[in-house]
Amino acid sequence: MRFSAAFLCLLQITILGAHAQAPVQNPFKHIVIVFQENRTPDNLFQGLCVPPFGSTNSCSTSPNAKQYDISTSNWLNKKSPSGFTQPTAVQLGVNYDMFHNHESFLAMCDIGPTGACKMDGAAGIVCAGNPTCPPTPQFGYVDNSTGTVNPYLELATQYGWANYMFQTNQGPSYPAHLFIFGGTSAPSASDDAGAVFISENSYAPNGSNYKANSDIGCLAPSTEWNWLISPQSAPKETQLLNTTLGALCFSHPTMASLVDQTTKTWKYYAPISTNPGGANPGGSMWNAPNSIQEICQPDSGFQNCTGTEWKNNVDLNPADVLTDISNCNLASLSWVIPTGQNSDHAGDPGATGGPSWVASVVNAIGNDTTCEAGKGYWSDTAIIITWDDWGGWYDHEPPTIISGMQGDYQYGFRVPLIVVSAFTPQAYISNVRYDFGSILRLIERGLALPGGEGALGFADARATTDLVSFFNSKQPPRKFKTIDAPLKADFFLHDTRPPEPPDND
């Protein structure tokens, strides 16, 4: 079903705090998804509970409409004699990382006899450290005493925050990136309907995780393989081998294919692979278009993406989003994937650029006064900031598990979500449950894509929410205030460091 001409002119959004809807006079022409790495609200956003951004009573584990759902003490730990562990302050950049595969999800979730997550098994998640991990590393929260994550806290308190945003998949980054791009990690639409999903990052011949910057998807070598989870195997997984090249090259609609049915445009920014053995510099697992046959169109040797769409829409320098904004070339729909130095992924003490990186993207849009016939991008752009998975860090909120066979891999743990626009009320807090499918529904609705909400028939169809409550049509567009950050856009535009992959496991 196509939308009427009247709807194409007006974006319908929910009036704050009500179910009735009213049109926005400045419909969104651009939606930008900034996709960071591996954090939970309890880990990254403790600063919402203390000055200058909050107070001890601004956070609650039973929040009202003006409180943040952050747990500050007595984190559940079934391995502790008391049943609890007190959280420990850590830096944003640390030299260790926790496993966050599907097995780790099951460990932390600790499913009880009713099928619900007890959320007391985080201590069972394996930690890899250099040289060693500290005691109970899973129970760390980011220390903001020096203002490290102030840009995130300012965005959350100046705009919209979701208390209950969950990653769709119960596993790591690669399938999460497939879900945010195409609504599924299944190899095909029929596989999605049958609840058959790619459930892990790729693996090498020796059974270890494939190097993060290796070629993947349509460009995967014959020695690569992955895990599938299905109703027949769950909770166990089965191998999907790539011995016949192209087995890891999937074919199904994506959000990009919906955009392609219109006059609108899309862009996918992701860091170039630094793997010298890679056949294609764009082959890393955080480049979701590489896994889609119709976009990549691999050559006969499955060594290069040759598709026109891939060449025109995949940008292997994330900082180019800043250039495109300044040149008034922002696409209708953009995915912005950071380099490892700016992704918030644990494991590198020096990788602390994430808060400044996200602020630079928001500031570039908010301070634009040239584009959109002089109105600036701030007048018609929605910015969605979220994190791809929980990264093995503790979080107290249990996910809702979908009933039936789809619940074998959905939903995963809570991740932060910040919504930024000129129509988002200050300090708006939503207590509705969301997942990546909710973001896709907002895109389908906000950009008036063919078929409307749920058009892909994947996570977008399974989701029941769409983020529209973050936009209040009755308030005038808010004037943008620059988000203060230690690193400015110029730093990222001229950063000469070799780009690291967003994740390294």
Residues in the chain: 505
For the stretch 210-263, pLDDT in tens is 555 467 899 888 888 899 999 999 999 999 999 999 999 999 999 999 999 999
Amino acid 473: pLDDT: 77
Higher per-residue pLDDT: 13 or 175:
175
Residue 23 pLDDT greater than 50, yes or no? no
Amino acid 283: pLDDT: 61
- The helix/strand/coil state of 227 is strand
Could you tell me how many helices (H) and strands (E) the chain has, helices first?
Answer: 14, 19
Amino acid 25: pLDDT: 40
- Measured CA to CA, the distance from residue 408 to residue 436 in angstroms comes to 17
- Measured CA to CA, the distance from residue 209 to residue 207 in angstroms comes to 7
- Measured CA to CA, the distance from residue 349 to residue 92 in angstroms comes to 8
Q: Report the candidate in 478, 482, 500 with the shortest Cα–Cα distance to residue 425.
A: 478
Higher per-residue pLDDT: 342 or 12:
342
- Measured CA to CA, the distance from residue 205 to residue 18 in angstroms comes to 54
Amino acid 209: pLDDT: 59
Q: What is the mean pLDDT of the chain?
A: 90
Q: How confident is the model at residue 11 (pLDDT cuts 50, 70, 90)?
A: very low
Cα R_g (the chain), whole angstroms = 21
Instruction: Provide the percentage of residues in the chain whose pLDDT is more than 70.
Output: 90
Amino acid 26: pLDDT: 42
For the stretch 440-456, pLDDT in tens is 999 999 999 999 999 99
Q: Report the candidate in 58, 79, 80 with the shortest Cα–Cα distance to residue 69.
A: 58
Residue 299 pLDDT greater than 60, yes or no? yes
Q: How confident is the model at residue 16 (pLDDT cuts 50, 70, 90)?
A: very low
Amino acid 273: pLDDT: 62
Amino acid 276: pLDDT: 45
- Mean pLDDT along residues 407-417: 97
- The helix/strand/coil state of 73 is coil
Residue 17 pLDDT greater than 90, yes or no? no
- Mean pLDDT along residues 112-122: 92
Instruction: Provide the percentage of residues in the chain whose pLDDT is more than 90.
Output: 80
Task: Give the architecture-level CATH label for domain 29-183+254-271+317-493.
Answer: 3-Layer(aba) Sandwich (3.40)
Amino acid 205: pLDDT: 64
**What is the secondary structure of 256-295 as a DSSP string?**
HHHHTTSS--EEEE-PPP--TT-SSTT-STT-GGGGBHHH
Out of 13-17, 65-69, 77-81, 250-254, least confident range: 13-17
- Mean pLDDT along residues 357-370: 97
Q: Report the candidate in 235, 226, 228 with the shortest Cα–Cα distance to residue 107.
A: 235
Amino acid 56: pLDDT: 83
- Measured CA to CA, the distance from residue 363 to residue 376 in angstroms comes to 12
Amino acid 455: pLDDT: 97
Residue 146 pLDDT greater than 90, yes or no? yes
For the stretch 379-406, pLDDT in tens is 999 999 999 999 999 999 999 999 899 9
Domain coordinates of the chain in residue numbers?
29-183+254-271+317-493, 186-248+272-304
- Measured CA to CA, the distance from residue 268 to residue 317 in angstroms comes to 10
